[in-house]
Chain A
Amino acid sequence: MKVESESPAALMISSVSKSFIDPRGREVKALRDVTLSVGAGEFVVLLGPSGCGKTTLLRSIAGFESIDHGSITLGALALDQLPANKRPVNTVFQSYALFPHMSVAENIAFGLESEGLAKASIEERVREMLELVRLVELADRKPRQMSGGQQQRAALARALAKKPSVLLLDEPLAALDLKLRRTMQTELKRIHKATGTTFLLVTHDQTEAMALGERIAVFSEGEIRQFGTPEEIYENPRDEFVASFIGESTSFLCSQESDLLIFESLTFPRIEGVTRDASEVHISVRPEDFSLQQGGFLCGRVVIADRIFNGNSVDLSVRLESGKVIKILAAVSELRDLVIGNERDLFVNPKKIHLLRQSGKI
C-alpha cells in the first residue's frame, strides 16, 4: 500500500537557538545555532544523551516551543510563524498521549474531524490507517485496554492519518521492552517506506539510531556534533564526543615524533590529515580495530588485565605501563591464549585510526 504524503518538501532548520530559565533561575541553552536540512521522504534520527536539546528541537518544529533565533521552514512555508494546530507536521509522543476516553478509531479520526472532512472519507482514512499499522481488529478498543506496542501503533496511525509532511517521533520506542522495540523498529521502517513521509525521530539509543536512520544528527549540549549516514558517523566520528557516544572507542591524545604518533608507551602510525607541525594529535580507535594477533601495526607491549567472554566475542581489557586500560575485542578462537596477567604485543589496524577534532574547538 502506498500512501502519498500531501506535499513532499524539504525541512530546513536554520541557525535555531533557544534558551530556558531553569527552576533555579539559571539560563540553559537548549539549542545553540542549530542548522539541519532534512530531505523530503528522508528518515532522520536526532541522537544524543538526555538533556542535549534534541527533544526541544522536535517540539520547536511541532510548535510546542517557540524559538529565540533562526527559522524553521518546510519548502516555502515558514513553519515557525504558524501555531501548532496549523502546522502540516504531526507528532508521535513518547507517552503516546492517546485520548483515554476515545477508542482507537476515534483517536485516529480526531485529527481528520478537526479538518472538517466528510464522514465517509474520514471512515475510509481511518480504515486505511488501521490496516497500515495492523490494528483493524482493535479499532473499538480504548487505549488502556491495549498493550504498549498496540498503543504505539495507534499513536502512529493517529499522527499519520493527517498525511503530515513531516512525522515527528519523540523517543517512540523508549517505553517498550527490548524484543518489542526490535519489532517496532522493523515496523517503523516498513511504514516509512509505505507512506513516503519524512520521518524525524528522537532517541538516546545509538543502536536504535543506527538501525533506523538514513542519516543521523548527533546532538550534544544543544549543538549538532555530526550529521551523516550511520556508516559515516561510525567510521569517521568527527570528535571525541561522537566517537565515544557511537559505539565504544578509546581516544588517545598523542604527541608527534618523526612520522609517528606517541601515546605513553604506545606508537601509532601517522595518519592522513595530520599536519606535520601539530604538537598534539587526538585520535580514537574502536575495540574491534585493536588485536593481540600478529598483523597490522605494532603499537607496543600491554598486559591482559581482564577478559569477559560474552558468547560470540571476548571483551578484553589490556593495561599500559602507566596503568591506563584500553578495551579491545578478541575472537572466541583466541580465548585459550588470553591469560590474565600475560604480556602481549598490541596491534592496530592503521586504516581504522580516526583523527578527532577537539570537542568544542570545531
Chain B
Amino acid sequence: MRVKRSSPYGPARAVYPALTLGAVLVGAPLLVVTLYSFLKRGSFGSGVVYKFTSDAYSSILIQTNLLGEHSLNSAYLGIIWRSIILASAVTIFCLLIGVPTAIWIALQTPSRQRILVLLVTIPFWVNVLARTYAWMLLLADKGLLSKIGAPTLLYTNWATLIGLSYAFLPFMILPVYSVAEKLDIRILEAGFDLGASGWRVLTKILLPSLKFGILSGVAVVFIPALGAYVQPSLLGGNKSMLIGSLINDQFGESRNWPLGSALAVLLLAMTVGVLSAYKWREWTRGKRNAESVDGILP
C-alpha cells in the first residue's frame, strides 16, 4: 500500500537542487560512456571520432582476420566468464566469513556491538592501494605467510580471491549485521522450543530472517568484485585477464575507447539485468503477500 505523504517540513522542491546535482553527476558520465561506445575509434588510437557505429559491440563477439573473414571471438567471453566465476567465489567467501561474523556481533551487548562495528569499518580508513600492497607483502615469496610454511600465493588467482574477499568483507558484514541486530533473538529460542534441531533453526529461521541483509550484501560484494581492477592487477599479477583490467587496458595501452566503453556498458547492463530480474520476481510475488524489498537492493 502506498500512502501519499505531504511533507510537514515545507515543499518538496527544497530538495530539487540536491536531486539535480546528484542526477547530473551520476547520469553525465554514464551518458558519455554510452555515447563513446557507439562511436568510431580515433585514428591514432586515442579519443573517438564522432561517427555512429556499433563496431565496438560486434567486436566483442566477432573478430575479423586480415582476409576480412568473420569468426566468433571467444576471448572476451572467456574473460567475462572468468570474472563472473571470480566474483562469485569472492561473494561465497564473504558469505561464509561475513554472515557468521555479523550474527556474532549482533549477539553482543550494545556497547560491544558499537566497538566491533567500528573495527569492521577500520580498513576503510586506509587507502585501498596501501591495503593491497600490505597483502602483497604477506603473500609474496619469502613474505610473512611463506615464512610460517604457507605456499607462496602472490600472482595467483588465489591471491586475487583473498585480496578481493578482504576488501569486500565489510560490505557483507554491515548489511547482514544491520538486519541481524534488529532481529528478535527469541525467535531462535522459539525454534528450539518447537522441537527444531540446530540445523533446522539455522536454515529455516535464522538465515531466512536475514534474507534481505544477505541479498544486499551479495549485491554490494558481487557487483564491485565483477569489475575490480586494483587487486587482480597487483595481487593476481594480471596473469589471467579480468573484465576490469580489460576495460582499463582499452583506455590505456590498447587505446580503444569505444571498445572500453562498450565493455563497461555491457557490464552495467548485465548487473542491472540480474537485479531487475530479481526485483521483478519479488514484485510479482509481493503482489501476493505485500512484501517489498524497496530500499534494500541498490
Binding site for B on A (CB under 8 A): 23, 62-64, 83-86, 90-91, 93, 95, 97-101, 103, 110-111, 114-115, 140, 142, 145, 158-159, 162
CA distance A245 to B254 in the complex (A): 85
CA distance A86 to B209 in the complex (A): 24
Q: Is the CB of B187 within 8 A of A98?
A: yes
Name A64's closest neighbour in chain B (CB-CB).
Answer: B189
Q: How far is the CA of A158 from the CA of B192 in the complex (A)?
A: 13
27 A-B residue pairs with CB within 8 Å: A23-B109, A63-B192, A64-B193, A84-B189, A84-B192, A85-B193, A85-B196, A86-B195, A90-B194, A97-B184, A97-B187, A97-B190, A99-B191, A99-B205, A99-B208, A99-B209, A101-B208, A101-B211, A103-B289, A114-B195, A114-B196, A114-B197, A142-B291, A158-B190, A159-B193, A159-B194, A162-B195
B190 touches A93 (CB 8 A): yes
B211 close to A84 (CB less than 8 A) = no
- Quote the shortest CB–CB distance from B157 to chain A (angstroms): 37
| Contact, CB under 8 Å: B289 / A99 | no
* Alpha-carbon distance between A64 and B185 when the two chains are bound, in angstroms: 12
Residues of B within 8 A of A91 (CB): 189-190, 193
B252 nearest CB across to chain A (Å): 48
How far does the alpha carbon of A62 sit from the alpha carbon of B211 in the complex, in Å? 28
A283 to chain B, nearest CB (A): 44
B interface residue numbers (CB < 8 A to A): 109, 184, 186-187, 189-197, 200, 204-205, 208-209, 211, 289-291
In angstroms, Cα B196 to Cα A162, docked, is 12
Asked, given contacts A99-B209, A140-B289, whether A85 binds B184 with beta carbons under 8 Å apart, the answer is no
Minimum CB–CB distance from A5 to chain B (whole Å) comes to 15
**Closest residue of A by beta carbon distance from B109:** A23
| Distance in angstroms between the alpha carbons of A20 and B197 in the assembled complex | 27
Residues of B within 8 A of A84 (CB): 189, 192-193
Q: Are B190 and A99 in contact (CB under 8 A)?
A: yes
Q: In the complex, A93 Cα to B186 Cα: how many Å?
A: 8
CA distance A111 to B196 in the complex (A): 7
A3 CA to B123 CA, complexed, in Å: 59
In the complex, which residue of chain A has the Cβ closest to the Cβ of B208? A101
CA gap between A95 and B289 in the complex, in Å: 23
Chain A residues contacting B289 (CB-CB under 8 Å) are 103, 140, 142
Contacts of B186 in A (CB 8 A): 93, 95, 97
Would you call B189 and A99 a contact (CB within 8 A)? no
For A85, the chain B residues whose CB sits under 8 A away are 192-197
Q: How far is the CA of A126 from the CA of B24 in the complex (A)?
A: 55
Which of chain A's residues has its CB closest to B194's CB?
A111
B189–A115 touching, CB < 8 Å? no
- Is B192 within 8 A of A101, CB to CB? no
Given contacts A86-B195, A91-B190, A97-B189, 11 further A-B contacts (CB under 8 A): A62-B193, A64-B193, A85-B197, A95-B186, A98-B190, A99-B190, A110-B194, A114-B195, A114-B196, A114-B197, A158-B194
Q: How far is the CA of A250 from the CA of B91 in the complex (A)?
A: 68
Determine the chain A residues whose CB is within 8 A of the CB of B184 once the complex forms. Answer: 95, 97
- A63: chain B residues within 8 A (beta carbon): 192-193
Interface of B is mostly: helix
For A170, give the chain B residue with the smallest CB separation.
Answer: B186
Is A110 a contact of B193 with CB atoms below 8 Å?
no
Q: In the complex, which of the residues B197, B204, B209, B290 contacts A110, with contact meaning CB atoms closer than 8 Å?
A: B204
- Closest B residue by C-beta to A102: B208
Nearest chain B residue, comparing its CB with the CB of A155:
B190
Q: A101-B208, A142-B289 are in contact. Are A93 and B189 (CB under 8 A)?
A: yes
Q: Considering only CB atoms, which chain B residue lies closest to A158 in the complex?
A: B194
Which of A23, A97, A115 has a CB less than 8 Å from the CB of B195?
A115
Cα–Cα, bound, A99→B189 (Å): 11
Q: How far is the CA of A100 from the CA of B196 in the complex (A)?
A: 17
In whole angstroms, how far apart are the Cα atoms of A67 and B87 in the complex? 49
Contacts of B205 in A (CB 8 A): 99
A146 to B162: give the CA distance in the assembly, Å.
Answer: 46
In the assembled complex, the Cα of A90 lies from the Cα of B109 at a distance in Å of 27
Q: Which residues of B contact A97 (CB under 8 A)?
A: 184, 186-187, 189-190
Q: Provide the residues of chain B in CB contact with A140, threshold 8 Å.
A: 289
Residues of A within 8 A of B192 (CB): 63-64, 83-85
With A99-B205, A145-B290 given, is the CB distance from A110 to B196 under 8 Å? Answer: yes
Nearest CB of chain A from residue B206's CB, rounded to whole Å: 10
Q: Which residue of A lies closest to B185 (CB)?
A: A97
Instruction: Contact check, A101 vs B209: say whether CB atoms are below 8 A apart.
Output: yes
Which residues of A are found within 8 Å of B109, using beta-carbon distances?
Answer: 23
Instruction: Tell me the minimal C-beta distance from A2 to chain B in angstroms.
Output: 23
Complex CA distance for A325 and B275, rounded to whole angstroms: 72
Per the bound structure, the CA–CA distance linking A183 and B205 in Å amounts to 31
Q: Determine the chain A residues whose CB is within 8 A of the CB of B209 once the complex forms.
A: 99-101
Residues from chain B with a CB closer than 8 A to the CB of A162 are 194-195
| Cβ contacts under 8 Å, A158 to chain B | 190, 194
Q: A166 to chain B: closest CB distance in Å?
A: 12
Q: List the B residue with the shortest CB-CB distance to A108.
A: B194
Q: Which residues of A contact B190 (CB under 8 A)?
A: 91, 93, 97-99, 158
Report whether A111 and B195 are in contact in the complex, using a CB–CB cutoff of 8 Å. Answer: yes
Q: In the bound complex, how far is the Cα of B291 from the Cα of A199, in angstroms?
A: 36
Note all chain A residues with C-beta closer than 8 A to B208: 99, 101
Of A62, A64, A101, the most chain B CB neighbours within 10 A belong to A101
Chain A residue numbers with a CB within 8 Å of B194 are 85, 90, 110-111, 114, 158-159, 162
Question: How far does the alpha carbon of A69 sit from the alpha carbon of B224 in the complex, in Å?
Answer: 56
* B193: chain A residues within 8 A (beta carbon): 62-64, 84-85, 90-91, 159
> In whole angstroms, what is the CA distance A140 to B211 when docked?
20
